[in-house]
Structure 1
Amino acid sequence: MKNFAKLFPILSQYTYLNTPSSGLLSVPVMEWRQEHDLDFLVQGSLLKENQGKILGSVREKVGELFSCEANRVALVPNFSYGFNTLLEGIKKHKKVLLLEGDYPSINWPFESRDFDVKYTQISPNLEEVVAQAFKKDTPDIFAFSLVQWLDGLKINQGFLKDLKALYPDTLFLADATQYVGTEVFDFDNSALDAIGASTYKWMNAGYGNGFFLFKESIVDRVAPSTTGFNSVQGKYKPQEGNFLGRFEPGHQDTLNYGSLGVAIDVINQLGMGVIDKRIKDINLKAKEMFLENRLLSKAIAERESHGAFFNIKGDDQTIIKLKNQDILTMVRGEGVRVGFHYFNTEDDLAYLLEVIRS
């Protein structure tokens, strides 16, 4: 098995279970960033002459990884920027269904605008509850995180496809920040009309980069007014008023977006299918051991569909105890959030449980 400590040197010093908070920076991304800034130091504007080529390449890599044509990929600095831009293009007074307690960057933008917002509970039978909410009062927009930020609960993709087939006129908008990079994902074959993600977590791309993917049909339903000189600069943004340009009105940082491109290169070298399997295997084992040690809530214990992290019983003192033993995690909600990426091992899991029991 690959020595991931060579890819992520911090792993030789810490047991890193904090990807849900902050993904690691890989050596290839760090080296590319150093080379980029050195080139900028000695070349100045000559480097920026290649800006369009760099950004076009990153856009294409994102599209290829997630099965979305490059002309429907927007490069944004973070999810919140892109999502607020998207909502500014939607007529107000629309009926919106949200999940109560979902990530603030999903719910707050709706709550701060003139939408008719209703909520449904996050529960072990989430899909059933959402289906009932649709039957009772079909929303114009259903917005949600693919993976819940507090505990890793993941909504079932098959359920979403079935729901979309029943309600094709409802816009499905999703935050995929805690999802992309954890499993193989075919956007064009999904139920989602648009997804966005910050890529500093599971894609290990560093900060200041993210993306949005759009279905072709969304252009007829969303019309952001955001614009600027960069809205028509570069490949895939051919004319004034183009949809992608609404999300990219100002200059874009080749350092940060280039980092995303290199992070995708790392993913492709390892193989997204391999990453998918490693993450599923380690998290299946983690769930088994957490159940055995009675560390999981009933809501998570009863579900099959789950993401790459868990919320286990613990508090601030647990965090201190773990940190003193070089295990990095974070308090979230009523417990300790622990994540298992492809570089984590069963030894990491065993060590975590050993320290908790001690």
Structure 2
Amino acid sequence: MDIADLRADVTLGDTVYLNTGASGPAPERVLQAAREEQARHEREWTVDPGPYASAWDAYDRTRERLAEYMAVSPSEVALCGSTADGISRIANALDWNEGDVVVRTDLEHPAGILPWARLAERGVEVREVPAPGGHLDYDALETALEGADLLCLNSISWIHGTQLDVRRACDVAHEHGALALVDAVQSPGQARVHPKAWGADFVTAAGHKWLLGVWGAGFCFVDESVVDRVRPRHVGYRSVEDKQAVPLDFHAGARRLEVGTQSLAPYAALREALDVHDELGLDAVREHIRGLTEQLKDGLPADRLVSPREFESGLVAFEVDDAEATVERLAERGVVVRALPRPDTVRASLHVFNTEDDVDALLAGLDD
């Protein structure tokens, strides 16, 4: 599949869809994979080899495919429902005591804020590190990590579209004896996801944004060196080796974060989406995105840009006079973008299925 094939397979009619950073439109090929997997499970596999055996095999294939994608071991991959689900599972699987410290950036999505706010109710201190312009203040990070237990940060800022230096941040965290958890949901499909190269202890992401999968297929990486520190409170029969054992006999790897049955369809879609992106090639995808972001930035007033002028990702944020009104006006013209929780800021997501005409339509709508 090439870029033209993908564009033809993403059927949105006359809509100019520029909101992949929230949720990507799955191509027909990916949707078909989900439908076929669900049908096989409900009709064929329910009889032979049985619904559970077939599901377990599908989960294993998905872990193996994700492990190949992230260059990690399948035992370091757990399946979950979403990025938020993965962060919450990790937060609730670590041993916290009153006075422990979590450090997060001021770039975090609510998925990377709310679990720590809940822990704060139990006496865990939460420190926020500034990231002016979407890049970390490393002096402030060094100070915040003194005596800290965990750092939570994005790989790509959902507000600025900046690509953070995850390796440097993880190294600083480890120098201070803290674990590092990366919310990587804006990376898969437009940037490389290499937990080992990052030096991350945990990475969470999902397939329904830039990978163009469907909702419901989240995944977690747990480095084998820290897995013994992960003792989930959210527990089910898939979390353990021996379902009858007390004390609990957790799985040796990241699978201890899994709980029970999950729909097979989203994970079949995820596997297919990964295959599609392999066929496209990440370099080709990024080059296409780069061209579109440059076109958009060239057409916007420089003083309105919230994202950096240089290319870092397909997310382009910019200021307008009234974000909500602008989004509504553009929607009436068939152009889909989103308002951000930042005063009078709109974000466009430019992906491989988008075209130069899409960018022109956005710029024309802004000029009205």
TM-score range, shorter chain: 0.7 to 0.9
CA contact (8 A) 1:227 1:245 kept: no
CA contact (8 A) 2:145 2:176 kept: no
1:322 Cα shift? 1.2
Q: Choose the corresponding residue for 2:6, options 4, 7, 23.
A: 4
TM-score by length of 1: 0.87
1:227 Cα shift? 2.7
Structure-1 separation of matches of 2:93 and 2:36: 38
The residue identity in structure 2 corresponding to 1:84 is S
The residue identity in structure 2 corresponding to 1:58 is T
Structure-2 separation of matches of 1:125 and 1:229: 41
Partner of 1:236: none
Q: Does 1:86 align with 2:95?
A: no
Tell me: CA distance 1:107–1:232, structure 2 relative to 1, closer, same or farther (3 Å).
Answer: same
Secondary structure in structure 1 of the residue aligned to 2:4: coil
CA contact (8 A) 1:78 1:208 kept: yes
Output one character per residue of 1:72-104: Cα deviation in whole Å (capped at 9) or x when no partner: 010111122222221122222321111235211
Secondary structure in structure 2 of the residue aligned to 1:337: strand
TM-score by length of 2: 0.85
Output one character per residue of 1:26-49: Cα deviation in whole Å (capped at 9) or x when no partner: 111111222233334533613624
The residue identity in structure 1 corresponding to 2:64 is E
Q: Choose the corresponding residue for 1:62, options 63, 66, 69.
A: 66
The residue identity in structure 1 corresponding to 2:82 is N
Among the aligned pairs, what percent are the same residue? 21
Structure-2 separation of matches of 1:141 and 1:153: 22
Structure-1 separation of matches of 2:182 and 2:138: 14
Q: Does 1:111 align with 2:117?
A: yes
Partner of 2:339: 331
**Structure 1 outlier segments of 4+, above 4 Å:** none
Equivalent residue pairs, number: 346
Q: Does 1:130 align with 2:131?
A: no
Structure-2 separation of matches of 1:137 and 1:188: 21
CA contact (8 A) 1:226 1:246 kept: no
Q: Does 1:320 align with 2:322?
A: no
1:107 Cα shift? 1.1
Structure-1 separation of matches of 2:287 and 2:204: 23
Structure-1 separation of matches of 2:311 and 2:169: 13
Secondary structure in structure 2 of the residue aligned to 1:155: coil
Residues 177-216 of structure 1 aligned to structure 2 (within 5 Å)? 177-216=185-224
CA contact (8 A) 2:240 2:256 kept: no
Partner of 1:260: 270
Partner of 2:245: none
CA contact (8 A) 1:90 1:223 kept: yes
Q: Choose the corresponding residue for 1:280, options 273, 276, 290.
A: 290
Tell me: CA distance 1:266–1:100, structure 2 relative to 1, closer, same or farther (3 Å).
Answer: same
Structure-2 separation of matches of 1:280 and 1:162: 29
Secondary structure in structure 2 of the residue aligned to 1:169: coil
Give the RMSD, CA atoms, in angstroms.
2.5
Q: Choose the corresponding residue for 2:158, options 137, 149, 156.
A: 149
1:241 Cα shift? 0.9
Partner of 1:99: 105
Residues 221-236 of structure 1 aligned to structure 2 (within 5 Å)? 221-232=229-240
Partner of 2:130: 121
Partner of 2:260: 250
CA contact (8 A) 2:14 2:334 kept: yes
Structure-2 separation of matches of 1:25 and 1:125: 29
Tell me: CA distance 1:125–1:176, structure 2 relative to 1, closer, same or farther (3 Å).
Answer: closer
CA contact (8 A) 1:156 1:305 kept: no
CA contact (8 A) 2:103 2:145 kept: no
Tell me: CA distance 1:290–1:214, structure 2 relative to 1, closer, same or farther (3 Å).
Answer: farther
